[in-house]
Structure 1
Amino acid sequence: MNRFCLIFSTLAFLFSTAAAFSADVKLVVLGDSLSAGYQLGPEEGFPEQLQKALDERGFSVEVVNAGVSGDTTSGGLSRLDWSVGPDADAVILELGANDALRGIQPDLTRQNLDEMTRRLRERGVEVLLAGMLAPRNLGAEYADVFDPIYSDLAKTHDALLYPFFLEGVALNPDLNLSDGMHPNADGVAVIVDNILPKVEELLARAQSS
């Protein structure tokens, strides 16, 4: 009997310990190569560096990398339901760069991002829109239509906004790969440091909802 009690107590302790160390919030990074870790090492991508930064600050969160290199907003919309499962509490939506690079009509980009954000918010998922700016070689007219998409949708859906995902990194050769477009490990570290206050706000929303 004593042996049985000892075994039962040990199992109860192990289960309670596992529960204590399980993440309170599941955060999915739904994006393209900028967040997927294109040509970076296993621990150098955005989700991985963000996970480390949040761990160091004592957050109980699991960061999931749902980035696909080359993905457009249309691709993100088509895989939304299986990329962001029912157990997701929050999403960083980082898509749109490839739309702009391919000159896709901004109206379609807006429509796709609007649909993704709407569906996530209807599920009770908190959303942080990681904005993008149109390449200036596409002309001022294109940029004038593309650039406001993220701020407009954040207001429409009560989502959080980080205006430009590559803030402080774009066009800096020391912070990008040789292609001049994708952040290197140091560039990702800058992005994480810059976006962290908004991510903390996102997690606070997810925990209180």
Structure 2
Amino acid sequence: MAADSGEPGTLRPGGRTARVRAAVLQAAGDVLAEGGLAALDLADVARRAEVGRTTVYRRWGTPAGLVADLLADMAEQSLPRTETGTLLGDLEANARLVQRTLADPRQGPLFKAVLAAAAFDPRTAAALHRFYEIRVGEWAPCVEQAVERGELPPGTDAREVVRAVSAPLYYRLLTTGLPLDRASADRAARSAAAAARAGAFVTPES
């Protein structure tokens, strides 16, 4: 169990409290997917979750506090990395996981809403940064192992390679009406792998 950081919604309790948290976060995610941050009203979330409004206001305080805890929970629940034994196989697994998430009828709109909210809400932005640091950190060892196997040059920035896999998929999601399919995911993985092999992500020596 994580220690209480003093931030609303950051305690990780068990029992009934955990069930209340799960119901509230599920409701919050539904609201975000349906209407974005502007629609995230704590009283409405409490009603949907069948939880007392006082409980929601006391534990999360603000919509931003609720979004922060939702992102923390999403990071905790995300699937672990897949290790295939090759750089390309690992990056394809990562890209396909991102693609499935962003193409999901609920998760895709939810991520769009959170990304939009982070542009003007500092607390949401901080929570989003923590979410992606956790996810990138989960997959970075796949790239580090590729360096150890000799597939990539020494000094390759593992985190930047992982980010390069996801970037084209988010760009496609946010700037086009084109579908996010497996072909898009595999193309992103191949491009990142080719760039990494060419040394594009080697950190310059200071």
Select the structure that is richer in strand.
1
Q: What TM-score comes out, normalization by structure 1 length?
A: 0.29
Q: TM-score, length-normalised on structure 2?
A: 0.29
Higher helix share: 2
